[in-house]
Amino acid sequence: MALLASLSVLAGLTWAAALGIGTLLHADRAARPDQSPVLTSRDGSAGLSARRSSPAQLGVPDATGASRAASALRASASLRSCPAGHVVLSVSASALTYPVRQLPEFDVDVVSTASYACLFDVGSQHVVLQIAAGSAQIWTSAECAEGQAVQLATLHRGVPTVVPMTWDDQYSATGCPMPGRAAPAGVYTATALAGSAASNSVTFRIG
């Protein structure tokens, strides 16, 4: 009888403790009703609240976004091509001297002088970069085209569209055979072409 009485007292104490803990947890949750999981970006900074994020904030297109995209597509379809003689190219190098084995990088700026918005192909088969040593051509991106072959860009008067390009420090040949023959250290020039338009020539050194 004494053993049964002790067990009953112990069970009562256990139930009372559990009830107390449950009451505390409920009160804590009631005091913080709006706590939702927080997304964290790879750099460790806090992101959007997972509960409150709208579809647009999470990158999911909504009806409004789809409508705007469709309107932009219809607008570009109504544009005409930039007229010949109204596109200006300019090329710049990221450095004047490159160490051996560092690939020279260039920006080709494409600018329209037309008074209206127009379409121009800035694809890899239309905008071409040429590298020369004196009068001898060393490399042309036309033989080693990378990226989209055809890429129509909407040009606005005086606003440049930048096309980044890189030379692999090798001679080019039809079909771009690999591995290519490495170009020696020396002075080179880079020129951009697009249809009848030609850019300035920029001089740089390797080695």
> Per-residue pLDDT tens for 97-131?
999 989 999 999 999 999 999 999 999 999 999 99
Q: Which residues pair with 112 in a beta bridge?
A: 87, 157
Euclidean distance between CA atoms 133 and 174, whole angstroms: 19
Query: Average pLDDT over the chain, rounded to whole?
Result: 74
Residue 134 lies in a domain: yes
pLDDT number for residue 144: 84
pLDDT number for residue 176: 83
User: 169 near 207, Cβ under 8 Å?
Assistant: no
pLDDT number for residue 146: 83
Tell me phi and psi for residue 98, to 5 degrees.
-120, 130
Residue 113 lies in a domain: yes
> Per-residue pLDDT tens for 80-103?
999 989 999 999 999 999 999 899
C-alpha neighbours within 13 Å on the C-beta side of residue 192: 30
Residue 29 lies in a domain: no
Query: In this structure, what DSSP letter does residue 178 have?
Result: S
pLDDT number for residue 178: 82
Full residue range of the structural domain in which residue 201 is found: 87-206
Count how many domains the chain has: 1
Token pair recorded at residue 194: 């697009």
What letter represents residue 58's amino acid?
L
DSSP secondary structure letters along 180-205: -PBPPSEEEEEEEEETTEEEEEEEEE
Q: Round the CA-based radius of gyration of the chain to a whole number and report it.
A: 33
pLDDT number for residue 42: 24
Mean pLDDT, the chain cut into blocks of 10 residues (207 residues total)? 40 43 41 31 27 30 51 68 95 97 97 97 96 96 89 97 96 87 96 96 97
pLDDT number for residue 75: 57
Q: Which residues pair with 152 in a beta bridge?
A: 121
Residue 42 lies in a domain: no
pLDDT number for residue 78: 85
Residue 152 lies in a domain: yes
Residue 174 lies in a domain: yes
Token pair recorded at residue 92: 């710049």
Domain harbouring 171, CATH code:
2.60.40.10
Residue 133 lies in a domain: yes
Residue 111 lies in a domain: yes
